[in-house]
Structure 1
Amino acid sequence: MELMRRRLKLGIAVTRRDSWNAPQAFENYRLIMKKVKEFSKRYDFDLVTTDRLPFQDKEVVFGKKTLRIEADTLLTDYEDALVAARYFKQEEIDALFVPFCNFGQEEAVAKLARELSVPTLIWGPRDEMPDGLDWRPTDTQCGLFAASKVLMRYHVRFTYIENCRISDPVFEQQFASFLGTARIVAAFRRLRILQISVRPQQFLGVMINEAELLEKYNIEIVPVTATELFDTVRKVRKEKQDEIQELIQDMERGIDLARLGDKKETLAAIEIGIIELACRYRCTSIASECWHEILSQYDISPCFLFGDINDRGIPCACELDIHAAVTAALAVAANNYTAASFTADLTIRHPQDDNTELLWHCGPFAKSLKEPSVPGYVTESGQGFFPLKKGGLTVLRFDGADGEYRCFAGYGESVEGPLTNGNYVWLTVDDWVKWEKKFIYGPYIHHVVGIFGDFRKEFEEACRYLDLVYDSPDIPERKERSL
């Protein structure tokens, strides 16, 4: 069972200057559409095109001649932009790609992008060598310069791939990076977080401003009581025994649950109950209490099951950290929901290595992230015990204070380190002191979200679209905050 998630929808509107009818423009259009259709399969997104839109024939004055241009599927004037905008809104696209097959039409491009207000990517193929005294066939780069100024006039934020050939590796690299950015933005704009119970009494660090999150970013918080969770779990245990047994069998693949004994059924029932609540309220992420009420009711901690929920594609943060739940939802969106994230404490510096830090928590990491060479297990109290695998890690934190919200992104490598309890990974970075000062001066706390892979560029670009301040270890920290 998992929450519904929508594949990214990318609208594509190829633009050309309608008075420029050199065959090269139409050849560029053919190559662009072929390549992007290939990408839609490779990078798992839905492509929405202008192929069937009712663009009109046009008359264009060119010198002393009036040319009649038959309608095609390319964006060539203001009216085309209006038609395309209506269609793309109807299709609910998440992002827009506007390739230029020649100089393009800057007014139409800017109007379309302004109407849609989604992450917008512009690019045009590198122009061919001039052929003597004949008119150059495309002048694509020139048109991109013109369009970028008009986009700025319309207050449209956009992303740009450098003028290159469609076969150049940089085109695919930057196109794929834009998809990651678009997925982060789409996830942020759909955030609806299930809040189960209340934060631990002493955990002032995870306090949030619920009204401000809604007013500034349309982030919805859906609070439910522990009583509603208990009622749901009770119903699950009564009506869904087959599903409970199936879940236990699935959880036992790759992890030892023997220490739980008869509590395995309880653990599975709680997990199914939490997921049912998330589905009931159409939530995209979960933040739950974990210290008192679940433990008191069932004599088991929900640590491992939180990790298992993450493994099922639903970001789930413990200790009722709403901002961690926000961060986790963005993290898994960045890699197209292909792997789980994890929420950890920044805990201690390595005793011998000044640039290595312990990312740890008491047992809520997804088992899919476990180091394969180490046999993991779940304790009798419900906590996962295993280290994480090796590899590059992006460390993230969305947080705010004084009405300003920031998104921190840093990168490091998971390495071998001293054995400890719970779930953990030792993270090596270039300069840990920069990280430490960044978190001390805030607006962050000790909780971070990790995701395997390097997504710093995608998050930096997403922050531009979301009115968030992008932050990283290399940006000087502010030692004073307004009060």
Structure 2
Amino acid sequence: MQSANIPEVRLGIVAVSRDCFPIALSTQRRQNIAAACKAKGLELYECPVTVENENDMKKAVADLRAAGCNALTVFLGNFGPETPETLLAKYFHGPCMFVAAAEGDGDLINGRGDAYCGMLNCSYNLGMRHLKAYIPEYPVGTAEELADKMAEFVPVARAILGVRGLKIITFGPRPQDFFACNAPIKGLYELGVEVEENSELDLLVSYRKHANDPRIPEVCADMAAEMGEGKYYPDLLARMAQFELTLLDWAEEHKGSRKYVAFADKCWPAFPEEFGFEPCYVNSRLAARGIPVACEVDIYGALSEYIGLCVSGDAVTLLDINNSVPGYIYKEDIAGKFNYSLTDTFMGFHCGNTPSCKMCADRAVKYQLIQHRLLEPEGSEPDFTRGTLEGDIAPSDITFYRLQCDSEGVLRAYIAQGEVLPVATRSFGGIGVFAIPEMGRFYRHVLIQKRYPHHGAVAFAHCGKALFEVFKYLGVQDIAYNQPKALPYPTENPFA
């Protein structure tokens, strides 16, 4: 996805060298990594300064800044100088990764670098200085191996940069009896995220000012082309286009000092009657262009979506962990065809905020059945409750995840990989049959036990590895995942 709402990572590499080791070990090994990155198609800026002391460190930081780098690999080509190499993480303005050279490209007398040892002291010094850094699971390797690790660092760096430059714009308080959709914003400020909270009236006033906006016909045409004839309400397009332009203009005018924006908007019960439609389809369109719009003023849902967007580089969505799969559907369409138990499956649902590109071909703009029951006269044709994007979500690998601040103000997260099955849901809304190994146990001992809300963010790829590293870098101490049966949860009853 090419989106102006996520950072473009400009990765640099700087080699460090302890002055009692040959500097050529680090310099040549850095050049080998640069060549390996080029061969793999990874764009990289190679800093010409090899850092042996603090003055070198200052020169390297200045050079990297002048080159436009916003993410950095610090490479221990030999044991490395502990103070200047870790001060790079302090004075460089973006996320830093630390890796070390494996031996094998020379003799083990004059050509041994001892970087395996140096990485230990590097980590120790980072800790003493309370500096954050990304260190891969195994941070030592050949040039080709380290090039692969640097490629894995890019989406992590993109998410870190995105969070640092993010403003979440909200409209309205959370709906009554949906307390879980909001949470203390203390955790957002700890992460460096800005929040702008507004009234629904602010949004309504801005929406009315966009009436007769000359751009509306162009947006209407784009909506019609996206959905296809017979898949939308022609009389509704102008209203929805007016709202889309309202949100886009608000984002641009209210970024302030920030580069990136996500929304968390109140969408019921007052919204449809006052605006004349449900906002779901518009929300889906913004998500498809890299601007997440979380339903029900779910601020941490918006943050989670944005992180997944940065990590996957693709559109994401926010869904209710909604209902169990009926036994008859499991027997007809899953049992014997897929290696999942009934409790491994569930249905993820929302009214219609999932981008159309992630849905099956029969998706269409429809009306919100539950809101129609609640807000419009019984037996009447749907009017202002129209505007959802409904249909089954297309089969895909997925990662279900969330970053949340709990009621005590503590940040915690969960990650679970799985898939959307090619199984018809026989239901309404934007919905899919999801399968995650050991979901039943995960549901009980993570989602319920740790009091997570019903919303989960969905990335349409297996990106748990990168998400885990992002959450670690952000300082999240509790990162839960769907543990295998051989690894019981602390609260799991061993006698059950």
TM class, shorter-length: 0.7 to 0.9
CA RMSD of superposed structures (Å): 2.7
Amino acid at match of 1:235: K
Equivalent-residue separation in structure 1 for 2:454 and 2:310 (angstroms):
23
- Alpha-carbon offset, residue 23 of structure 1: 5.1
Secondary structure, counterpart of 1:284 in structure 2: strand
User: How many pairs were matched up?
Assistant: 444
CA deviation profile, 1:126-178 (whole Å, cap 9, x unmatched)? 2226648x52353433433443333333333331343222224xx34432222
Contact 2:79 2:113 in 1 (8 A): yes
Instruction: Tell me how far apart the structure 1 counterparts of residues 81 and 20 of structure 2 sit (CA, whole Å).
Output: 10
Alpha-carbon spacing, 1:216–1:126, altered in 2? closer, same or farther (3 Å): closer
Are 1:76 and 2:52 counterparts?
A: yes
- Aligned partner of residue 13 in structure 1, secondary structure: strand
Q: For 1:129 and 1:219, locate their aligned partners in 2 and report how far apart those are by CA, in whole Å.
A: 45
| CA apart distance, 1:387 | 1.3
Amino acid of the structure 1 residue aligned with 2:187? L
Inter-CA distance 227–23: structure 2 relative to 1 (3 Å threshold): closer
**Contact 1:22–1:137, Cα closer than 8 Å, also in 2:** no
Distance in 2 (CA, whole Å) between partners of 1:355 and 1:81 is 51
Q: Give, in angstroms, the shift of residue 247 of structure 1.
A: 2.0
Deviation per CA, 1:9-31, whole angstroms, max 9, x where unpaired?
33421112344447554432322
| Alignment-derived partner of residue 213 in structure 1 | 187
Mapped partners of 2:67, 2:297: distance in 1: 35
Which position in structure 2 is the counterpart of 1:450?
458
Secondary structure at the counterpart of residue 457 of structure 1:
helix
1:225-374 matches, cutoff 5 A: 225-240=199-214, 243-256=215-228, 258=230, 259-282=232-255, 284-335=261-312, 338-352=313-327, 353-371=342-360, 374=361
What TM-score does the superposition give when structure 1 sets the normalisation length? 0.84
Percent same amino acid among aligned pairs? 20
Matches within 5 A, 1:36-435: 36=37, 42=42, 47=44, 49-51=46-48, 73-85=49-61, 88=64, 94-116=70-92, 118-128=94-104, 131=107, 135-158=110-133, 159-160=135-136, 161-168=138-145, 171-210=146-185, 212-240=186-214, 243-256=215-228, 258=230, 259-282=232-255, 284-335=261-312, 338-352=313-327, 353-371=342-360, 374-379=361-366, 381-399=386-404, 400-417=406-423, 418-435=425-442
* Uncovered stretches (5+) of structure 1, i.e. residues with no partner: 52-72
- In 2, Cα distance between equivalents of 1:254 and 1:296: 26
SS in 2 for 1:416: coil
1:12 touches 1:97 (CA, 8 Å); kept in 2? yes
Instruction: Sort the Cα spacing of 1:312 and 1:177 in 2 relative to 1 into closer, same or farther, 3 A.
Output: same
Pick the aligned partner of 1:441 from 430, 435, 449: 449
Letter in 1 for 2:206: T
User: How far did residue 91 of structure 1 move?
Assistant: 7.2
The 3-state SS of whatever aligns with 1:239 is coil
Cα deviation for residue 389 of structure 1 reads 1.6
| Matched AA of 1:401 | S
Q: In structure 1, how many angstroms separate the alpha carbons of the residues matched to 2:139 and 2:167?
A: 36
| 3-state secondary structure, aligned to 1:274 | helix
Deviation at 1:292, TM superposition (A): 3.0
Q: CA deviation at 1:88?
A: 5.0
Equivalent position SS for 1:397:
strand
- TM-score (structure 2 length as normaliser): 0.82
Partner of 2:371: none
1:149–1:205 distance in 2 versus 1, CA, 3 Å: closer
Counterpart in the other structure of 2:373 = none
Tell me the SS of whatever aligns to 1:365.
coil
Structure 1 outlier segments of 4+, above 6 Å: 89-92
Indicate if the aligned counterparts of 1:96 and 1:121 stay in contact, CA closer than 8 A: yes
Q: Which residue of 1 aligns with 2:382?
A: none
